[in-house]
Amino acid sequence: MSKPKVGVFGFTGCGGCQLEILNLEDQLLDLVSAVDIVHFREAITEYSDDYDIALVEGSVTTKHGVERIEKIGDIAKIIVAVGACACTGGLNCLKNLYGLEKAKDLVYGDKKDWIDTIETKPIDKYVKVDYMARGCPPNRFEIVDVIRSLILGRKPEIPNYPVCVECKRNGNTCVYELGMTCLGPITRAGCDSRCPNSVSGCEGCRGIIDNPNVNAQKDVLEEYGLTVEDIMENFNLYNACKKIEQK
pLDDT in tens, 56-74: 999 999 999 999 999 999 9
- If residue 38 lies in a helix (H) or strand (E), which one and from where to where? strand 36-40
Cβ atoms within 10 Å of 35's Cβ, excluding its own: 19
- Residue 158 in domain: no
Stretch 123-137: mean pLDDT: 95
Measured CA distances, 144 to 27, 30, 54, 79 (Å): 8, 10, 14, 15
Distance CA 63, CA 71 (A): 13
Enumerate residues 6+ apart whose C-beta is below 8 A from 228. Answer: 218, 221
The answer to whether residue 247 scores a pLDDT higher than 80 is: no
- CATH for 77: 3.40.50.700
pLDDT of residue 227: 86
pLDDT digits (tens, 9 = 90+) for 13-44: 999 999 888 887 677 667 777 888 899 988 88
Same domain assignment for residues 167 and 127: no
Q: For the chain, what percent of residues have pLDDT higher than 70?
A: 96
Same domain assignment for residues 50 and 110: yes
**Number of domains forming the structure of the chain:** 2
pLDDT of residue 246: 52
Same domain assignment for residues 109 and 220: no
User: Which residue range forms the structural domain that includes residue 42?
Assistant: 5-152
Enumerate residues 6+ apart whose C-beta is below 8 A from 79. Answer: 53, 54, 56, 72, 73, 123, 127, 128, 129, 130
Same domain assignment for residues 32 and 109: yes
The answer to whether residue 200 scores a pLDDT higher than 80 is: yes
Q: What is the DSSP secondary structure assignment for residue 135, as one 8-state letter?
A: B
